[in-house]
Amino acid sequence: MLVELALALILTKIMDEIFIRKKLPPVVGEILIGIFFSLVSFLLPPTMHFINHEFSLNLDINHPAFDFFADMGILSLLFLSGMETNLEDFKKSEKSALLTGIFGVLITFLFGFLFSLYLLNFDIKAAMAFGTIYTATSVGVTARTMMDMGILHTRVGNTILAAAVVDDIFGIVLVTVVLSSGEIIEVVIGITLFFLALYLVSRYRLIERMMDWADKFLHIPFGMTSVAFGIMLLLAYFAQLSKIAPITGAYFAGLLMGQSRHSRKITMPIRVISSAVFIPIFFVKVGILVDFELISCFNLLLLAVIPLAFMGKIVGCGFGAKLGGMSARESLCVGIGMVPEMEVALVIAALAYSSGVFGIEMGTAIITTTIIYVIVSSILTPIILKKLYEKKGYSGSESLPIST
C-alpha cells in the first residue's frame, strides 16, 4: 500500500508538470496514471521468481487506505470548489447566468436520461444517475482560453463564469437527490433537514463565529486550517446522516467558508495539502476504475453520449443565455464555453459506480466513457472557441459586441 501511494503521488506530479507545459489539463495526466496502474495489474503476473526468491508484482490499488485517500480527495475537491465559488461573478450576470445554468443542467440531464432509459434500457434510478453525470460543467479550460484571448471579462466570459456557479449548485443538489439512500420520504425529510440546518448556520453566521474564535484563541501554526477542515468533515457527516451524499456537505461548507472574512487565511493551506496529497489520489482512483478485464464487455453505444452531452450543453446553455438577453452569437459562445466537464463529473461518476446503481460491468464502461468525454471536451472546446472568434474577426483584446 505504501509503495502504491508513493508511486501515485510522485508519478502524478511528474504528469502534472508535463501536461501543464503542454497547456493541457493536469487532471487528465492524473487519470492516465490510474489507467496505467490498472493496465499493469492486468498484464503482469501476480509474482516473479528470481534465483530462488519470489517477488510480488501486484499493485495493491484496492487497499482500504488507498480508498481513504481517494475519499478525502473527493471531499477536499468539493470543499475547495465551494470556497472558490465566486458569487461576485454571478451578481454581474445574474439573469443570463441563472437561466444558462438552469437550462444547461435540465437539457443535458434530459438528453442523458432519455438516452439511457430508452436506448440502454436502464431503470429509472440508473437513468437519472446517468443523466446527472453529464450536467456538471468545469470552465477551467474555457476560462484559461478566454483569458489568453483577452475576452474573459466580457459579457460572454462573465456569464460563463457565473453560470458555472449555478451549474455546480444544481448539479450537486441533483446528485444528492439521485444517489440518496433510503425511501423517498426519508430522502425528502433528510434534504429538508439538511438545507434547513444550512440556512440556520448561514443566518446566524455560525461558521463565521467559529472561525472568529479560532482566530482569537488559536495561535499555533495552521490552527484555523484544522478547524476549517474539521467543519467540512462535520457537514459532510451531517449530510451522510441526512441520507444524502457527503460531498454535498463538503461543497456547502466550502461555499459558506468562502464568504467568511477568514477565507484568505485558510484557502491556500487547504489547497496545498489537498492538491499535494488527497486530490491526485482520487483521480488516480478514477483511472483505476477502468478495468481492463471488463473492456471486452464495453458497450460501444455508450460513446454516443459524448456528442449528445455536447449538444445538451450547447442547446441548453445557449437557449438560457438567449432568454437572458444575449445575441445568438453570444449565446452560441456561452453554450460552447459550458461544454467542458472535469472534476465534478468524475466525482458523480465515481459515486454512482460505488453505489452499485449501474452494476460493475456497466459502471466500469460509464467511468471509461466519462473519462473520454473529459479528455475530448477539454481538447475541442478551446479549438472551437478560438475558431469562432477568429471567424468573426475578433482580436485577443476585443470583446464580442453586446446586443440587447
Distance CA 12, CA 30 (A): 5
Distance linking the first and last C-alpha atoms of the chain: 59
Residue 264 pLDDT > 70: yes
Beta bridge partners of 47: 56
Residue 136 pLDDT > 90: no
The vertex-139 CA angle with 33 and 111, nearest 5°, equals 90
Question: Mean pLDDT over residues 103-120, rounded?
Answer: 95
The pLDDT of residue 18 = 94
Question: Mean pLDDT over residues 138-156, rounded?
Answer: 75
Which secondary-structure segment (H or E) carries 83?
helix 64-83
Distance CA 402, CA 117 (A): 40
Which residue matches cell numbers 465515481? 350
Which pLDDT band, with edges at 50, 70 and 90, does 401 fall under? Answer: very low
**How many residues are there in the chain?**
404
Beta bridge partners of 56: 47
Region label for 22, one of left (φ > 0), alpha (ψ between -120 and 50) or beta (otherwise):
alpha
The vertex-247 CA angle with 81 and 336, nearest 5°, equals 50
Query: Greatest CA span in the chain, whole angstroms?
Result: 80
Beta bridge partners of 48: 55
What does pLDDT average to over the chain? 85
Query: 338: closest CA among 171, 195, 221, 219?
Result: 171
> What amino acid is encoded at 143 in this protein?
A
pLDDT in tens, 214-250: 989 988 988 999 999 999 999 999 988 887 778 888 9
Residue-wise DSSP of 333-366: HHHHHT----HHHHHHHHHHHHHTSS-HHHHHHH
171: which residues sit within 8 A by CB, 6+ positions away? Answer: 105, 132, 135, 136, 344, 348
Residue-wise DSSP of 104-150: HHHHHHHHHHHHHHHTS---HHHHHHHHHHTT----HHHHHHHHHHT
Q: CATH assignment of 69-391?
A: 1.20.1530.20
pLDDT in tens, 351-398: 889 888 999 899 999 999 999 998 888 888 888 888 887 765 544 434
pLDDT in tens, 184-195: 677 788 888 988
Record the cell numbers describing residue 119, joined without a space: 436506448
> What b/e string do you get for 211-223 counting C-beta neighbours within 10 Å, with b at 16 or more?
beebbeeeeeeee
Distance CA 58, CA 7 (A): 13
125: which residues sit within 8 A by CB, 6+ positions away? Answer: 178, 357
Distance CA 375, CA 245 (A): 26
**Long-range contacts: 115-121, Cβ < 8 Å, 24+?**
115/304, 115/305, 115/308, 116/305, 119/301, 119/304, 120/299, 120/301, 120/302
